[in-house]
Structure 1
Amino acid sequence: MITHDKKNLMKSTTDRPLRFALLGPHNSSKSSIVSIVSSHKSLGNYYPTIQNSPTLLQFQPSNQRTRALLDVNITYKELEELHLVDSPDIQLTDVVISAVKKTQSKNTSSESVLARTLNYYDLDYSGIDGSASPLSSRMSPLQFGSMHSPFNSPYERAGMHSILGTPETDLEGGPQPYTTPILLELIDTPGVQPDDLIPFLERSLDSRLARDVLRNLAEDNDGELGRARVKPLLIGSGISDLNGTMDGYLICYSCVPETQMDSPPPSYYEEDIPQPSAPLQPLEIVKAIKTTLEDAWKEYLRYHHNWEVGKEYDVFSLNRSLKTLWSKSKIAQTDPEATYLPPITIAVTHCDHELASPVLIEEGRKLAAQWGFAFVQVECPFENWKNVEECIGLMIRESIESQLAAGRPGALKRAK
């Protein structure tokens, strides 16, 4: 029997968090997802988010399917046994599938695992032979019986085990390795409308733009806050949460049309524009966010590259600068990073609702397949959520594999 070295599951392998922004219309459970991942508590009431709210946390999944998604040594056959390949509620991307199919043999050493996870987490395989869980320590962050755990009551522990799933010995595919704590920064954002989005806006210029330039974007619903409706999805400088160091995006939308029926009061400054039909309104916002993100990253990378090229002019003489002006401009126009976009996952929420629309779910799935995005059906009812851990785990794996496939690990960190 193969034995595996035990890893330190109490310590993270890096101090660099993976940064994910949650985008989407109102009532799409973005805040509930953040709350579940950070505190294992979903929100019982709806509290609209009015500003970007970053949450820094250590993510250490207990769900078997999530741990399987994060296992860099898992094989395609094992994914099939866990029903993650043709799952009706989780749609993997070609990037993840291709990476899994390349796995021929298991190398569980820390050196190998950290190289394939870009040092974001290590994997402990010491418990996969059926022995005691490596997280059974009293001080383990996943041990609900800990004196520091909010689920210290036996009744709460029983409830949490029913939520997290059945014992691993009863599941197909066998037990999966545990991860070291993964540092994450989840950025919850206000609900958006298609006409409120700005693709890219440099922060230093944002504060100086006049009202005649921003037009209706400078108007707020109450007419007092002035700039609250301006929501650029990408900021050039590092003083904003939504800057150029994003590792991925989670676009959420609700599959219950009734949650999208509320509309703001009519504006006196805009012409009447035909709006899309109410049942498909959430998907129209998803399309607008996707298009805006593409434009934002294209403009940001062009801006960033041209800025770097411009700085080179200062260290050359005037004659040499004139000689290299044409070649540098050509480099700026043909920069391969101009087409880079962080991985995007689409999450459809309220799938367990009695008024959930199968059309909205299926149309969202088709859009994700068309765009090459991951797709997850998420349920966030109070204390009875589903596929939330899997969604975050898939985003982590997607981000890491995308950077490895692009041949530039940590590209987003260097794009700052």
Structure 2
Amino acid sequence: MTSLSTSSSRSESHQHHKSLKPQNLQNPIRLAFLGGSKSGKTTIISKLTLGSYRETYYPTNQITPILFNYVPESIQAKEILINSNLEVGHNINLSHILKNKKNVGSFVKNNQYYHINESKDEITPILVELIDTPSFNPQKVVPYLEESLYTNLDKEILHNLANEPRRPVSTNPLLVASGASELNGNVNGYFFVYSAIPSYNPPSYETQANELPNNHTFKLLPTIKDALNDAWEEYNTFKRDWAKGEESDIFSFKFAFKNILNSGKSKSTELIDQLYENSSNSPPIWIICTQSKNELASSQLIEDGKKLSNQWKCGFVAIDNVHDDVDIILSLMIRDILQKQKLK
């Protein structure tokens, strides 16, 4: 059994891993970070990619993707990707897929993203793209766009080919079907980030002692979840209709007419409907509570995050960028992605 925690424990073989090539060079794992202002999204990404971060707060104004080779540096992060069985501590709540022992027992060690050399107890580097996003603003966020606002697409080509550079826009879509956008349907997972610190300002006279400000990062999470659910429902409908359109182009009229007479509906169309009929086609979500060891952190906020993850059946982890090796969040997400793909 593997005991998971976020305590610091560096791997001495990190330099050796740098000489290895990622197995998924043509298929990076793309992970988006969503959350409110000062939730800690950029800080997490900086520590994962650079090993450090700036203490001065600079708001993120545009979507920023960062591509890097992920090598688990903590023992815990490595064991998550190697061992089949998981046992978690109080700061981690596994998703319903990883909690299911039957699912976990079917974990595939050698997969499309990395290879495990059991004799040397090492993992090949994993190519990961981390997507930083501006602070979530419900007034400026559009859940889904069929076509990106950043580019003009060629009239005859709609498959991610654009004919001019992106233009600045005031609307931030969570998911884009066609066009140049980092937040497209190829995102493999989402991190919802909030802070364990209730407020940086003293409460006003009108505010109750235990009441969070209306704009607190934790209060934004349900709004983000609802918007993302709507976005993926629309996107799955778009993909289903697109697939049906391709089907009508591929099959001859005679073949299609024969199927209509026999069953009233072609088998391939039925399979398409089954594939996109529910929201399970959306990527995994993990809730991250940051600044968990800060002297101003609220234990109640951490517990609230766990309760929310149970309600959504998603993963939860509480971390502290100052004291912890935050790479554990990537291993947990990658493990979740692999398990969900295998179930499909």
Using the TM superposition, give the Cα deviation of residue 205 of structure 1 relative to its aligned residue in structure 2, in angstroms: 7.1
Displacement of 1:7 in angstroms is 9.7
Alignment check: 8 A CA contact 2:109 2:116 kept: no
- The answer as to whether partners of 1:280 and 1:360 remain within 8 angstroms in 2 is no
Amino-acid identity (%): 32
After superposition, the Cα gap between the structure-2 partners of 1:9 and 1:92, relative to the gap in structure 1 and judged at 3 Å, is farther
CA RMSD of aligned residues (A): 3.2
Residue pairs, 1:69-218, within 5 angstroms: 69-71=80-82, 74-76=83-85, 79=86, 85-97=87-99, 98=101, 102=105, 116-127=109-120, 177-203=121-147
Q: Is contact 1:17-1:184 (8 Å) kept?
A: yes
Match of 1:379 in 2: 320
Alignment-mate amino acid for residue 95 of structure 1: I
| Aligned residues of 1:197 and 1:232 also touching (Cα < 8 A) | yes
Distance 1:369 1:90, change over 3 A: same
2:228 maps to what in 1?
293
Once the 2 structures are TM-superposed, how far is the Cα of residue 179 of structure 1 from its aligned partner? 1.4
Deviation of 1:125 after TM superposition, in Å, equals: 3.2
| 1:54 aligned partner, one-letter code | P
Task: Describe the shift of the 1:280–1:68 C-alpha distance in structure 2 as closer, same or farther (beyond 3 A).
Answer: farther
Map of 2:184 onto structure 1: 243
* Structure 1 residues not aligned, in runs of 5+: 1-5, 80-84, 104-112, 128-176, 209-224, 263-275, 407-416
What amino acid does structure 2 have at the position aligned with 1:404? K
Conservation of the 8 A alpha-carbon contact between 1:61 and 1:389: yes
Q: d(CA) in 2 for partners of 1:291 and 1:188?
A: 20
Residues 156-190 of structure 1, C-alpha deviations (whole Å, 9 max, x = no match): xxxxxxxxxxxxxxxxxxxxx32111110000111
Query: Aligned partners of 1:190, 1:197: CA distance in 2, in Å?
Result: 10
Shift of 1:376: 0.6
Q: What TM-score do you get using the length of structure 1 for normalisation?
A: 0.64
1:336, 1:250 → 2: CA distance? Answer: 23
Distance 1:206 1:36 in 2: 29
- In the other structure, the counterpart of 2:156 is none
1:216-272 per-residue CA deviation (whole Å, 9 max, x = no partner) reads: xxxxxxxxx9832x111111025210111111111101121214999xxxxxxxxxx
2:230 is paired with a residue whose SS is helix
Structure showing the higher helix proportion among its residues: 1
Higher-Rg member (1/2)? 1
Cα distance, 1:317 vs structure 2: 6.5
Matching of residue 389 in structure 1 with residue 327 in structure 2: yes
Quote the residue 2:338 is aligned against.
400
Q: What TM-score, normalized to structure 2?
A: 0.77
2:291 is equivalent to residue 350 of structure 1: yes
Equivalent position SS for 1:199? strand
CA displacement, residues 126-177 of structure 1 (integer Å, 9 cap, x when unaligned): 35xxxxxxxxxxxxxxxxxxxxxxxxxxxxxxxxxxxxxxxxxxxxxxxxx3
Please report how far the alpha carbon of residue 320 of structure 1 lies from its aligned counterpart in structure 2 after TM superposition.
Answer: 7.2
- Render the CA deviation track for 1:306-356: whole Å, top value 9, x for unaligned: 012123334566787688787367766554454222111100011122221
- CA apart distance, 1:204: 5.0
CA–CA separation in structure 2 for the residues paired with 1:280 and 1:359: 17
Where does the alignment leave 5 or more consecutive residues of structure 2 unmatched? 1-15, 153-166, 204-210
